[in-house]
Homo-oligomer: A and B are copies of this chain.
Amino acid sequence: MVPDSRREEQPLQVLVVGAGAIGGFYGARLAQAGAQVSVVVRSDFDIIRREGFHFDSIDGDFTFRPEAVYGSPVECPTPPDLLIIATKALPEIDLIGLIRPVVGENTTLLLIQNGIHIEAPIAEAFPDNTLISGLAFICVNKTAPGRIRHLCFGRLAIGRYPQGNAPMTERLARLFESVNVPCSITDDVMEARWRKLVWNAPFNPISVLAGGVTTREMLSTPESISVIRAVMEEVLAIAAADGYPLEKELVQKNIDDTHAMEPYKTSMLLDYESGRTMEVEAILGNALRLADHYELKAPHLRTLHALLSLAAR
């Protein structure tokens, strides 16, 4: 009988669906760790097939040449061991229809997206596959076709959805750590998502709505800090109603940590400034649908959501 440790010697077969800045980055790191990584790209197909991805990274520049470059998942001949889903979390993308042709019996799904309550539809569509949910703490953006700038951070937090652990989380963490990508495993990834939303819910929308401002500027007036704080408290209330009570100190901690950071443009502001679609629903809309469900008012969050939905048109 082949022991488990032998089986892990086989390179991991990975397919990245939505290989933009985030998907491209983590796919590239897994390739550096010895996995065989193919990608599905929506744009820049020709240049990526010809030249791969080039990363201008704070950790040292590098190039990533995928095993194969596809224009659609259906082109992939065999289901991968690991399917990384790194498309943007947008309602208009039929994610399940997109990936169904390439999800095999033994395919593990790794979702690396922003937002809250974004896993349920995937878990329902593929109930027999392991689903790992991942949060990326990273600043990366595309600067030209096939060219990605990695500005700061890079940490991943991953956990089996809806909770617990899976052998693949351990294996992924080992692979990522072997190429200096910090990767923590959480037993409660839903809680981790709520935690991240406490920051995202105020800072992402306000950076856009206030006319394109940095984190530093958002913390420059007492009125703005007061609204940021109120939005965070509303997120805490929704999270608690949803079964994820978080410590109240998180509000002050997030504000203090953001004060300590270099002034930073949020990913939503970068999307807005580049004319790309913003993840309004995954970040704010889903939280407000839960607020409706639990009959919570969340007036500050609702104001941001309404304004941002208009601004997104």
Contact = CB atoms under 8 A, between A and B. Distances in A.
Interface string A289-303: 000000000011011
Q: Which of A210, A213, A217, A226 has the most CB atoms of chain B within a 10 A radius of its CB?
A: A210
Given A217-B313, A313-B217, A210 B307 contact: yes
A307 B206 contact: yes
A223 interface: yes
Nearest to A298: B299
B302 A223 contact: yes
A275 to B, nearest CB: 12
Given A299-B300, A300-B303, A310 B218 contact: yes
A51 B213 CA distance: 43
Interface in A215-248: 217-218, 220-221, 223-224, 226-227, 230
A57 B309 CA distance: 36
B300 A224 contact: no
Interface in A266-313: 299-300, 302-307, 309-311, 313
A305 B221 CA distance: 11
Nearest to A206: B307
A233 to B, nearest CB: 11
A202 to B, nearest CB: 10
- The interface size bin for chain A is 20 to 34
B213 A306 contact: no
B221 A306 contact: yes
A211 B311 contact: yes
A238 to B, nearest CB: 15
B310 A210 contact: yes
A310 B213 CA distance: 8
Contacts of A227: 302-303, 306-307
A209 interface: yes
A311 B210 contact: yes
Contacts of A220: 310
Nearest to A221: B309
Nearest to A308: B210
A299 to B, nearest CB: 4
Contacts of A305: 223
Interface in A183-219: 206, 209-211, 213, 217-218
A210 to B, nearest CB: 4
Interface string A139-167: 00000000000000000000000000000
Given A224-B309, A299-B300, A300-B302, 12 more contacts: A206-B310, A209-B210, A209-B307, A218-B310, A220-B310, A221-B306, A221-B309, A224-B306, A224-B307, A230-B299, A230-B302, A299-B299
20 contacts: A206-B307, A209-B209, A210-B307, A210-B311, A211-B311, A217-B310, A217-B313, A221-B310, A224-B306, A224-B310, A226-B302, A226-B306, A227-B303, A227-B306, A230-B302, A299-B299, A299-B300, A300-B300, A303-B304, A307-B307
